[in-house]
Chains A and B, each alone.
Chain A
Amino acid sequence: MSESRGLHTKEFTLNVGPHHPSTHGVCRFVLKMEGEVITHVTPVIGYLHRALEKICENRTYEQIIPVTDRFEYCTAMSCNMAFSLATEKLAGIEVPERAEYLRVIMLELNRISSHLIWLGTTSLDLGALTPFLYAFREREYILDLFEMTCGQRLTFNYIRPAGVSRDIPPEFIPKCREFIDMFNDKIDDYERVLTENPIFIARNKNIGILPPDVAIAYAVSGPALRASGVKFDLRRDDPYSIYDRFDFDIPTRENGDCYDRYLIRIQEMRESTKIVRQAIEQIPEGEIRGKFNKMNFKPPAGEVYCRVENSRGELGIYLQAADKEKKPLRVKMRGGSFNQLQVMPVICVGHKIADLVAIMASMDIIMPDVDR
């Protein structure tokens, strides 16, 4: 630090972004710097604002599902899920058993693929190219599985109110089993490159420490919360769908630094494979979609806030319906990144500018989630 050498530089303002590879989208930071040390951070957002909430107010419930895909495209399945869940609760719709299992399989595969994007881009930001190639190689398997199920690789439009859009093809289960059998060894490969890597440790350990009380005060959810030692996961603590039937662990760490957030996500990928394995063992035959009048669905007046745990934490949908209307009165989307970005000014101060990149990456912030 400049103080330690007895040097004092004049405070200056530095602009980072909006088009910067490390901001994972279009996010801008206005930094106040003293030498290389950050003294103040102001995130500037809105570059990716597409008015999704306004668009939703102008569509029927079935038409909103593809809009939710665009809300958080790294885990589009969980956005579909949150909106479908909210619609089902609003009108008391039943979901067939097989559809619930298909949902869980897709949600967990999507969680892995999202964590793989995170792993790849994070290691790129920190100067390691190899894990990026590894991660995208395995992600390809998952995208193939999605493609054979719903024809899409990124914006799925798969989970719908009352069920899912189509059944899995017969090749799906063997391919999926092949993937999860192979995947744990692949995670070992990533760990071999990163976990003990002195450069990676130097860039991440004790950087961007998020104390648990700050995390809760700012409602920072997901892996970032659990890395700070708070054992809170909506799949366990506010269970939805059929998550209470599966046996899996909620990993937590104590330090809440960038390195712990890395370890949590690695561990979560292993836990997700456990859930997928149990789900494909137990999946029953049967219907994939319950009763839902997709052309003319008119729920009774009511409101609901519904939340699911996605790879970035709490993904919530607040839905208010006017009585017997085809279009909802209000759809509010709440993504995990929104609150994660909000806490950045608190945890970045005192770190060097290079650490901003590491902290931003470790919080796993993506901008469609923030800007909507």
Chain B
Amino acid sequence: MNRDELVSYIPDTFKDKVQLLDTGRAEPFFLIKAENLLEFSRAIKDDPKLHMDWLSCVSGVDTGEHFEVVYSVASVQTKIRFDYKVVLAYDGAEIESVQTVWPGANWHEREVWELYGINIRNHGNLTRFLLPDDWDQGHPLRKDWDAPDFVRMPEK
């Protein structure tokens, strides 16, 4: 399935659950609602034409206006690759864990929880990860995070 077929196949199959974004510069990016996350993830893995069995990466993003969580998925069998994301408001940002679909999501989600403070439901192991055990200075990858020894490059 090439890119053109993919950008029509996914909206055709999942209807209003998914929306194609125009920001993807290589592979297509889709936007889904947070409440459909687990259902959509399972569906793209089980769909015989897509068979997305490979979760490359889960990236949290703070755009300065809201949070995003980007899932980069691929398939070993069909060689298809695309990304999808959920957009979350700052207040009470929370998503469902996708570990039941891809067990490898565990550490990626733990990182999102730790560095952005996005809560992951049904994760089971949300403990300190990259940061020191006694860390109490918030979530460093948020755009509003500042620390005494962190100096931003001046804007010019």
Interface residues of A (CB under 8 A from B): 45-46, 49, 51, 53-54, 58-59, 89-90, 92, 216-220, 230, 232, 237-238, 301-307, 314, 316, 318, 320, 322, 327, 329-330, 332, 334, 338-339, 342-343, 371-372
Point out the residues of chain B lying under 8 angstroms from A307, CB to CB: 56
Point out the residues of chain A lying under 8 angstroms from B62, CB to CB: 330
> Chain B residue with minimal CB distance to A63?
B153
A330 to B29, CA, bound (A): 16
Within 8 A of A (CB), among B102-156: 102-104, 106-107, 128-132, 140-141, 150, 152-153
**Most central of B55, B59, B61 by chain A CB within 10 Å:** B59
A61 to B107, CA, bound (A): 28
Q: In the complex, are the beta carbons of B153 and A301 less than 8 A apart?
A: no
B27 on the interface (CB 8 Å rule)?
yes
**Most central of A314, A316, A318 by chain B CB within 10 Å:** A318
Point out the residues of chain B lying under 8 angstroms from A232, CB to CB: 76
A54 to B114, CA, bound (A): 14
A269 to B24, CA, bound (A): 35
B8 on the interface (CB 8 Å rule)?
no
- Given pairs A303-B25, A320-B61, 14 additional interface contacts (CB within 8 A): A45-B130, A46-B132, A217-B103, A217-B104, A232-B76, A237-B79, A238-B79, A238-B81, A305-B56, A316-B56, A318-B57, A332-B60, A334-B72, A342-B104
Q: In the complex, are the beta carbons of B23 and A301 less than 8 A apart?
A: yes
Q: In the complex, are the beta carbons of B56 and A338 less than 8 A apart?
A: no
Interface residues of B (CB under 8 A from A): 23-27, 29, 53-57, 59-64, 70, 72, 74, 76, 79, 81, 83, 102-104, 106-107, 128-132, 140-141, 150, 152-153
Point out the residues of chain B lying under 8 angstroms from A92, CB to CB: 25
A371 to B115, CA, bound (A): 13
Point out the residues of chain A lying under 8 angstroms from B59, CB to CB: 305, 318, 330, 332
A329 to B66, CA, bound (A): 12
CB distance from A218 to the nearest CB of B (A): 4
CB distance from B93 to the nearest CB of A (A): 16
Q: In the complex, are the beta carbons of A58 and B103 less than 8 A apart?
A: no
Q: Which of B61, B76, B83 interacts with A216 by CB under 8 Å?
A: B76
Q: In the complex, are the beta carbons of B63 and A322 less than 8 A apart?
A: yes
CB distance from A81 to the nearest CB of B (A): 15
Q: In the complex, are the beta carbons of A334 and B63 less than 8 A apart?
A: no
Q: In the complex, are the beta carbons of B57 and A332 less than 8 A apart?
A: yes
Q: Which of A230, A304, A305, A327 interacts with B153 by CB under 8 Å?
A: A327
Q: In the complex, are the beta carbons of A89 and B25 less than 8 A apart?
A: yes
Q: Which of A51, A230, A305, A320 interacts with B27 by CB under 8 Å?
A: A305
A371 to B74, CA, bound (A): 23
A334 to B83, CA, bound (A): 15
> Chain A residue with minimal CB distance to B114?
A46
**Most central of A220, A305, A306, A327 by chain B CB within 10 Å:** A305
CB distance from A133 to the nearest CB of B (A): 35
A58 to B155, CA, bound (A): 10
**Most central of B53, B83, B103 by chain A CB within 10 Å:** B103
Given A58-B153, A305-B72, A334-B57, verify A219-B104 contact (CB < 8 Å): yes
> Chain B residue with minimal CB distance to A240?
B26
Point out the residues of chain A lying under 8 angstroms from B54, CB to CB: 216, 219
> Chain A residue with minimal CB distance to B155?
A326
